[in-house]
Amino acid sequence: MRTILQAENLVKVYRIGKVDVPALRGVSLEVQEGEFVAIMGPSGCGKSTMLHLLGGLLTPTEGRIVIDGEDITTASDAKRTAIRRKKIGFVFQRFNLFPTLTAEGNLRLAERIHGNGGGDPQLRRDVLRLLGLEDKLHHKPLELSGGEQQRVALARAVVTRPAIVLADEPTGNLDSENSALVLNMFQELNYRFNQTIIMITHNPEAAAMCRRIVQMRDGHIVEPSPSVRL
């Protein structure tokens, strides 16, 4: 397998007034292409900070992050933005869909931002079929249920075939039925498209669907586990 992400000795310190508050204290993580990894831990342990660092949304105080062969910690802001657009897909708890665009419009916008021209129509059809969205293409977010909105957000994240999908509590706003549906779809995308996924979750049932679970506490990784093919 090929290493798709390597994080080395990540430290993140927030300055609040005159006080330094450490969020990460020397975290290292390596992810192979095609892995589905859960990062778990109590609130305040640093897992969301970790995800934002891996996605290039924050810059570490110390340490190094390499995504698909490119070091995002030494890159300029413009270069880091370009890497983020090309290589990373995000799925957030709050969906973050553009409310004035249809489901298809949200996907096409992601393709344009990625710089992929008209995108890959066959991949788009395959993703929409897998996520059960063929009949929702022309619906705007407010015309969709929470579960359907999250599926559109998931389709938007993977339709450009990013190197990594980063998901931050993707089922946090969903009921148990829709949570199970979305998690099953994450699994299908991982297996069918070999999509690499790193998911933040506090839910043990959600984490159990991943191939590997990484436990965090007090800004440290305390319990990495080997990758497992489910």
At 230 the pLDDT is 47
Question: Domains in the chain: how many in total?
Answer: 1
Q: Which domain holds residue 175?
A: 32-60+67-224
Q: What does the pLDDT look like over 146-163, one tens digit per residue?
A: 888 988 989 889 888 899
At 101 the pLDDT is 92
At 7 the pLDDT is 96
Task: Report the CATH number at residue 150.
Answer: 3.40.50.300
By percentage, how much of the chain surpasses pLDDT 90?
52
144 neighbors 152 (Cβ within 8 angstroms):
yes
For residue 186, tell me if it sits in a domain.
yes
For residue 102, tell me if it sits in a domain.
yes
For residue 77, tell me if it sits in a domain.
yes
For residue 207, tell me if it sits in a domain.
yes
For residue 71, tell me if it sits in a domain.
yes
pTM: 0.89
For residue 128, tell me if it sits in a domain.
yes
Which of the residues in the chain have pLDDT under 50?
A: 229-230
